[in-house]
Amino acid sequence: MNIDYHALLPEFILSGTILLVLIVDVFLSARRKWLAMPLALVGVIATLVATLTLIGSTPRVAFGGVFVLDNFALLFQVFFLIVAIVVLAISLRYFREGGFYQGEYYFLLLTSFLGCLLMPASRDLLMLFISLELVSAPGFLMSAFRKNDLRSNEAGLKFFLIGVLSTAVMLYGMSVIYGLTGTTRLEGIAAKLAGISGGQETMALAAILFVVVGFAFKVSAVPFQFWAPDTYEGSPVPVAAFLAVASSAAGFAGLLQLMFVAFIHQYEFWVPIFALLSVATMFVGNLIALKQTQVVRLLAYSGIAQAGYILLPFALVTADPANNHTAFSSAVTYILIYGVMTIGAYAVAVAVSRTSPRLLIADFAGLARRSAFLAVAMTLFWISLAGVPPTGGFWAKILIFRAAVDRGGSLGVWLAVLMLVNSVISVFYYFAVPRQMIFKPAADESPLRTSWLVTAVVGVAALAILAIFILPNPFARLADLSTLIPG
């Protein structure tokens, strides 16, 4: 078999880095364990460079179509690698000062990101499953990394149990689909499922449902969201950032391929299910978020609500490919913009956690006086999450509204109205933290010191949010580039 090594180069470099980090860690003295982070960072940057060299030469196919590197995959890979750089940057000080096992952490983190890289390029059920597990399994360990805190143990255990359960259900669904179609290749499945009927069809529909469950867990869609707030709160903050952004985006990348490619002909069956999932997810996320007092939990519920918005385009699928393309690209754009604003908010949380490890909303009181830069940037991230100008989050929402109204029919309009109502509800809690930061006096007025890595990350994310607002076109174009769905 002729293997396209260039297409796989990023994965090779990252795998090499992972092994290197693990080995080097053994030889580092306790005081120098943190050196694993610069090592990992160099590896990730090399991977990013390797990925960038692939731009323009897509699509590339490896392993007979199991691994396909097209624009869709490339877009997500670049996104994941940038997120990886950010997570590494905000991890260094947190883990160094917290007395954690640093070498192991960076090893696990990079392994998860390897799964993220593989996910959007996987065009095969087995490959998708492997990528998903590669993302999740290190996550179970990482979320329990604050060993001395009961909450962290609970976080890991809950994540593990619910994760394994939903994986089992998903795997069962996949096996049934293989049994019905005789193939694990996504396009092959679509072709076979197109002509399926009778009892076999019922079987196939049930199997689709099972597969969706596995991914619904990953993206924390209601009713599979229970783990998310507890896990995020218990995990080290950078790990929560990873789970909220990379892990959830990877789940969406997989789900997009399954629904828009493999199961596309059954859309009449699953569109109402996704409509229900989407609406329930946004309402549950937003309403429970109103009562939160801890910032990471608040971000977790906000993440659930945002997952509801991202699920909405799935419910807009029709027989018309042009319409599906619009829905598809609105979801992709939303995921990317969501990533930028969420990672920014987590970076600020990491900075604040140095002086207030519990990260209560009240701990943010008076931040504007302690660090005006962090307060302004954080305000920008929250405003963006609420979808209010002048921020990138505004366009993310507009694109989904547009796709919903464009679909026509009462379903699209109703979903748009419900999303609008939710957006208004969300403003109330998205303003809770800015209110504390700006309107309330600080208990301790001493300036907050942040590491330059965190400052840089926050600054870049804030600038990106503004830049996307002023010139959204290049960003919206990115999703259009995707060749997964014909335009």
Partner 1 sequence: MTWQNSAITITTFLPILGAVVILFMPKEKDKAVRGLAIVFTGAALVFAVAMALGFEHGKDGLQYVLDVKWIPVIGARYHVGIDGISLPLYVLTFLLSFLCAIYSWRYVPEAGRTKAFLALMLLLETGMAGTFIAFDLILFFVFWELVLVPMYFLIGIWGSTNREYASIKFFLYTLFGSVFMLLGFLAMYFSGPTVDGVHTFDMQVLTAFGAAGGFSHTFQLVVFGAVALGFAVKVPMWPFHTWLPDAHTEAPTIGSVLLAGVMLKMGTYGFIRIALPMLPEGARTYAPWIGLLAAIGIIYASLACLAQKDLKRLIAFSSVGHMGFVMLGIATLTTIGIQAAVFGMVAHGIITGMLFFCVGSIYDRYHTREIAEIGGGLMAELPKMGGIFAFVAIASLGLPGLAGFWGEVMALLSSFSPAPGLNVALFRGFMIAGGVGTVLTAGYFLWMIQRVDMGAMPERWQAKSFRDIIAVEWVSWVPLLAFIVILGLFPAIIFNLTQTGAQALSALFGG
Q: Which of 185, 174, 157, 62 is nearest to 118 (CA)?
A: 62
Q: Which of 27, 29, 473, 486 binds partner 1 (CB under 8 A)?
A: 473
Q: Is residue 327 at the binding interface for partner 1, with CB under 8 A as the rule?
A: no
User: What's the closest the beta carbon of residue 472 comes to partner 1, in angstroms?
Assistant: 6
> Which is nearer to partner 1, 360 or 466 (by Cβ)?
466
Instruction: Tell me the C-alpha distance between 287 and 362, whole Å.
Output: 20
> Which is nearer to partner 1, 9 or 481 (by Cβ)?
481
Burial of 118 (0-12, 13-18, 19+ CB in 10 A): buried
Site size for partner 1, by CB under 8 A? 30
Contact 178, 186 (CB under 8 A): no
- Find where tokens 């009449």 sit: 268
Interacting residues with partner 1 between 360 and 399 (CB under 8 A)? 383, 388-390, 394, 398-399
| 22, β-bridge pairs | none
User: What's the closest the beta carbon of residue 477 comes to partner 1, in angstroms?
Assistant: 6
> Which is nearer to partner 1, 297 or 325 (by Cβ)?
325
Interface pattern 215-244 for partner 1 (x via CB under 8 A)? ------------------------------
> Which is nearer to partner 1, 61 or 405 (by Cβ)?
405
> Which is nearer to partner 1, 209 or 427 (by Cβ)?
427
Q: Which of 353, 472, 482, 485 binds partner 1 (CB under 8 A)?
A: 472
Stretch that binds partner 1, among 125-133, 205-213, 289-297, 473-481 (CB under 8 A): 473-481
- The H or E element that residue 405 is part of is helix 392-407
Interacting residues with partner 1 between 394 and 423 (CB under 8 A)? 394, 398-399, 401-402, 405-406, 408, 413, 416-417, 420-421, 423
User: What's the closest the beta carbon of residue 419 comes to partner 1, in angstroms?
Assistant: 9
Q: Is residue 77 at the binding interface for partner 1, with CB under 8 A as the rule?
A: no
Interacting residues with partner 1 between 420 and 439 (CB under 8 A)? 420-421, 423-424, 427-428, 431, 435, 438-439
The residues, ordered by sequence, that sit 6+ positions from 309 with a Cβ below 8 Å of its Cβ are: 278, 282, 334, 397, 400, 419, 422
> Which is nearer to partner 1, 64 or 474 (by Cβ)?
474
- Find where tokens 């160099």 sit: 42
Q: Is residue 165 at the binding interface for partner 1, with CB under 8 A as the rule?
A: no
User: What's the closest the beta carbon of residue 405 comes to partner 1, in angstroms?
Assistant: 4
Q: Is residue 480 at the binding interface for partner 1, with CB under 8 A as the rule?
A: yes
Which residue ranges make up the site for partner 1 (CB under 8 A)?
383, 388-390, 394, 398-399, 401-402, 405-406, 408, 413, 416-417, 420-421, 423-424, 427-428, 431, 435, 438-439, 472-473, 476-477, 480
